[in-house]
Structure 1
Amino acid sequence: MFRYKVSKMGCGGCIKSVTRAVQGVEPGASVEVDLAIKLVTVSGAVGSPGRIAQAIAAAGYPAEPLLAAA
């Protein structure tokens, strides 16, 4: 599971764009977005957190990978 702080999200359209970006590089991933705290959680992804962050950023939403909780 990977988590990202995505500060530029503000609406349902943003959620759709970020979800599409993640699933473009990780088609089987589950994407959960908490718009209130600007948090994206990606589960089931096998790629690297950096690759997913790059895809989100390429969609126009700079993403900061967060350390996973132990």
Structure 2
Amino acid sequence: MITFQVKDMSCGHCVSVITQAVMAADPQAQVQIDLATHRVSIEPAAADAAALREAIAEAGYTPVPV
């Protein structure tokens, strides 16, 4: 499980954008997002932590590994 703190994620739209970005990088990944704690947890199928972090960053957010 790879977890990021994404403090600039603030609404349902953010959750949707981040989910789409992760799924584009790793279509088989399992994504769990807790908006209240600003945590994005990913069980990757193919991508590594760096690729997932980059995908979230390219979507316009600031992922910090936890």
Q: Same fold (TM over 0.5)?
A: yes
Give the TM-score category using the shorter length. over 0.9
Unaligned 5+ segments in structure 1 are: none
How many residue pairs match? The answer is 66
Unaligned runs of 5+ residues in structure 2 are none
How far 1:48 moved relative to its partner?
1.2
Q: TM-score, normalised by structure 1?
A: 0.88
Partner of 1:40: 40
Is the 2:28–2:46 Cα contact (8 Å) retained in structure 1?
Answer: no
Deviation at 1:17, TM superposition (A): 0.2
Runs of 4+ aligned structure 1 residues displaced above 4 Å come to none
Structure 2: distance between partners of 1:24 and 1:18: 10
Q: CA RMSD in A?
A: 0.9
Amino acid at match of 2:13: G
Secondary structure of 2:37's partner?
Answer: coil
Give the fraction of aligned pairs with identical amino acids, expressed as a percent: 36
Query: Using the alignment, how far apart are the partners of 1:28 and 1:39 within structure 2?
Result: 19
TM-score w.r.t. the length of structure 2 is 0.93
